[in-house]
A and B are shown apart, each in its own frame.
Chain A
């Protein structure tokens, strides 16, 4: 109970307003579906994040953990959808060269391989 309120009715009004605000901000966390393709140069990940604007998408790497978070304009069960997923990265990823883009509700994250992880062909001399 808010001690500043002297009138009981006012207090109840305030509480119900706060509850309403809370409802608007409620979110539901959903794992986005992903396709991962690996080739000799990089690993490409395609996440489905419908309804998320590019400014509401965050891609972070901390302690070799790649975290994806996207706030969608869509709702499920009356709650705003938040797509969230994490992956552990190995040492073969060049973290400084990771880049991402969104297009038609699909987030593409490209994880280039570090030079050490690439296949180096060594020429054999006679």
Chain B
């Protein structure tokens, strides 16, 4: 009923292997070379940090989670996020009907050291469209205040 379309399959096998070899070679020279493979592509839990003058914003893609299954902790400038995914194929009856299963992971936990001290009391987190956004206010000492020093 369904079959996967792979644009590379339009190439002949020889050309395809050459194409892959060429991509691998470029990747070695440039780590940012755009080589995208399906199973390297999963975005679950890949944290994106944005530094602003007065706050740090962390964004985590956590598709298929529920609010009550996500926990966010900050301890000594270490941010820890734990999440559990709602899995539709836990029971054996559904497992037998699976014809393709790529979303393997069910639980996620990650801790990172924050690049600046934050005020945990002023931290907010919200989850929408499968993305957890954590806004952490920097402590007063960390804010980039410009000081003008007079010259005598």
Contacts and interface: CB of A to CB of B under 8 A. Distances in A.
Interface of A: 28-39, 43, 46, 48-53, 65, 73-77, 81, 86-90, 92-93, 102, 104-106, 111, 113, 117
Contacts of B89: 35, 37
8 contacts: A33-B42, A34-B100, A48-B42, A74-B43, A74-B48, A74-B61, A93-B1, A105-B131
Interface in B34-58: 34, 36, 38, 41-44, 46, 48
Contact of B88 (A32, A37, A89): A37
B146 interface: no
B1 A35 contact: no
B5 interface: yes
A93 B2 CA distance: 9
A76 B36 CA distance: 12
A88 B1 CA distance: 8
Given A35-B89, A51-B130, A104 B66 contact: yes
B1 A43 contact: yes
A35 to B, nearest CB: 5
Q: Is the interface of B mostly helix, strand, loop or mixed?
A: loop
B126 interface: no
Interface of B: 1-5, 32, 34, 36, 38, 41-44, 46, 48, 59, 61-66, 86, 88-89, 94, 97-103, 127, 129-131
A106 B63 contact: yes
A86 B59 CA distance: 28
A9 to B, nearest CB: 31
Given A89-B1, A105-B131, A48 B36 contact: no
Nearest to B5: A86
Contact of B130 (A28, A29, A30, A50): A50
B43 A30 contact: yes
Nearest to A117: B1
A53 B129 CA distance: 6
A81 B5 contact: no
A37 B97 contact: yes
B61 A87 contact: no
A87 B36 CA distance: 18
B43 A50 contact: yes
